[in-house]
Structure 1
Amino acid sequence: MFGQTPADCPATLATIDKGSLSLLVVKTLGEIYQELGCRVRFMPYPGRRGIASFNNKQVNGEVMRIEKVERAYKRDFVRSSVPLMMLNSSLWQHPDSLAKADLPIGYTLGIIWQENYIKNKRGRKFSNAQELFRAYNSGELSGFLSADITVKIQVENGEIIPRPIQKQTVISAPLYHYLGQEFTPFMKRFSDLLQREDRFGYISEF
C-alpha cells in the first residue's frame, strides 16, 4: 500500500468487451491497483463505447489503448509513462484462401487500427471478437484482423477452427493505460511500479 486516500483512486475503467487479451490484462491490472491501495471496477464495452464512456466521464479511464486513440479523447487525460506491452496484430487468412477469396475480412468495430486498415477494403464488422471468430469458424470470412496473442490463445483453446495463416503484420505498437487527468498522481505511482517491474511480460509467452 502506498497510503493514498480513496479519493486518489480511479474507481471504474472501460475495457474491450469479450476480448481474450483484455481478460488477461484486466486480471493483472486489478492486482496492481490492489497493491496501490485501490479497488477498481472494470466495465466491458464495445470498442468505441469505451471511448465515449471515458469522454462522458462515465468511467475514470480505459484499460489499454494504442497512442492513436488519443485524438478521439475529448477530455483531459494522462497516459502511463510505461506501456503495458507491445501490441502485435495481423491480418489472418483462412487456409483455403482460393475458396474464400470472395468473402469479406472480419474486423471488430471500435478497434481503431482495424477500422483504419479496413478502409477501401471489403470488410464485415462485428461488435466483439467472439462474434467474429464464430463467423470465421462458420466459413463466412476470408480472414480477419486480430492481435497475434489473441489468435494464439484462441487457437490453443480450440476456439478458432481451422487454424488461420498469418498473412500480414498490420501494426506493432505499444499499449498504454489511460486515466482522466485528475488521476495524474495515481498514474505516476502506477507508472513507477511498472518501471520497477514488468508485470505484463508473461502475456507474450502464451
Structure 2
Amino acid sequence: MHKLRSFYLSVLLLITPFGYAQQTLVFSGIEGSVNTDISLQVLEEAYQKLGITVEYRPLPGERALRTADTGRVDGEVFRIANVEKRYTNLIPVPTAINVLQGIAFSKVEQIPISGWESLKRYHLGIQIGIKFAERGTEGMQRTLVETNEQLFKMLDAERVEVVIAAHANGLKTLSDIEIDSVHALKPAIQEYQLYHYLHKRHASLVPKLDQVLQQMQQSGRISAIRKQALLKLENGH
C-alpha cells in the first residue's frame, strides 16, 4: 500500500507543471492599492502555470508586512526592493512584477519637484507602512495615517501641504472620495521596481516562480497587464 501511494504521488508531481501539486497560497497585501490589484493579476497568471491557486488578504501596509514576515500567510503580494533586510523571513523573487511611480500631490500646482530633497520645506503626509514614502521622507516634517483616504482628506483640509503616494493609488483615491482640488505634481519623485516576496518556508519555490515571471516579462505579458489595468482606471471603469 505504501509503495502504491508513493507511485500515485510521483505521477501527480510529474503531470503538474514544474512538479507542484495543486495547492493554494495566501498572500497579504496593501488594502485599497491599485498596484496590489495589478500585481495580483500578474501573480495569479504566473502561479497558475505552476498549478497553484492564489488568495489575497488585504491589510493596512505595515500589518501586511508583519503578517507575511511572521508566516501567518505565505508571503506578500509586492514590495519595493530590500524589504527583506528588515523583514528577514521574506525572500524576494528576483523578477519585478510591477512598477511604482512615487508622486507628490498638493492643492498647489506650482511646487517644483526635483527628488526628495525638494520636499524638505513642506509639511508632508504619508501612509503608514508604505516603505518608499517612509524612507524618502525620513527626517522631514510629516504626519502618518493609516489609509490613502485619510491622507487625501487631510490634504484637502490643509492639515498638510503635500502628500506622497503611488501615482495610480492616488488617482483612484481622489476619484473615489470625489476631491478635485488636489493635483498630481510632475515629474515623479522616484520610480521603483516592485517585487513579490515569499516566506522563507517556500524558498524552493522562488527559482521556479522566477522562471515563469522571466518568461512573462520577456514576452511583454507583465507590461500588458499593467497597461490594461491603468487604461481601465483612466477611463473610470
Question: TM-score w.r.t. structure 1 length?
Answer: 0.81
Q: What is the alpha-carbon distance in structure 2 between the residues aligned to residue 97 and residue 166 of structure 1?
A: 8
Aligned mate of 2:48, from 31, 34, 37? 34
1:120 and 1:188 map into 2 onto residues whose CA distance is 38
Summarize deviations over 1:109-163 as a string: whole Å, max 9, x none.
Answer: 0112211222332212111222212333444431210112323445566744224
Q: Partner of 2:96: helix, strand, or coil?
A: coil
Q: Within 5 A, what are the aligned runs for 1:1-206?
A: 2=17, 3-6=19-22, 9=23, 11-75=25-89, 77-95=90-108, 104-154=123-173, 159-166=178-185, 169-198=188-217, 199-202=221-224, 203-204=226-227, 206=230
TM-superposed CA distance for 1:187, in Å, is: 2.5
- After TM superposition, the structure 1 stretch with the greater mean CA deviation from structure 2, 29-38 or 41-50, is 29-38
* Residues 69 and 75 in structure 2, CA contact (< 8 A), matched pair in contact too: no
Cα drift, residue 28 of structure 1: 3.5
Cα pair 1:86 1:175 within 8 Å, conserved: yes
Residue 80 of structure 2 contacts residue 192 of structure 2 at CA under 8 Å; is this kept in 1? yes
d(CA) in 2 for partners of 1:79, 1:180: 9
Contact 2:26/2:55 (CA < 8 Å) preserved in 1? yes
The amino acid of 1:16's aligned partner reads I
Aligned 8 A contact 2:109 2:185 in 1? no
The one-letter code matched in structure 2 to 1:39 is: T
- Distance, in Å, in 2 between the alignment partners of 1:128 and 1:69 is 20
1 or 2, which has the higher helix percentage?
2
Amino-acid identity (%): 20
Contact 1:92 1:164 in 2 (8 A): yes
158 and 18 in structure 1: CA distance in 2 versus 1, 3 angstrom threshold: closer
Maintained 8 Å contact 2:149/2:177: no
Range with greater deviation from structure 2 (42-51 or 159-168): 159-168
Name whichever of 83-92 and 159-168 sits farther off: 159-168
Aligned counterparts of 1:146 and 1:125: Cα–Cα separation in 2 = 12
Structure 2: gaps (5+ residues): 1-15, 112-120, 231-237
The one-letter amino acid of 1:60's match is D
Q: CA RMSD in A?
A: 2.8
Q: In structure 2, what residue type is equivalent to 1:64?
A: F
Unpaired runs of at least 5, structure 1: none
- Secondary structure, aligned partner of 1:119: coil
Displacement of 1:96 in angstroms is 6.0
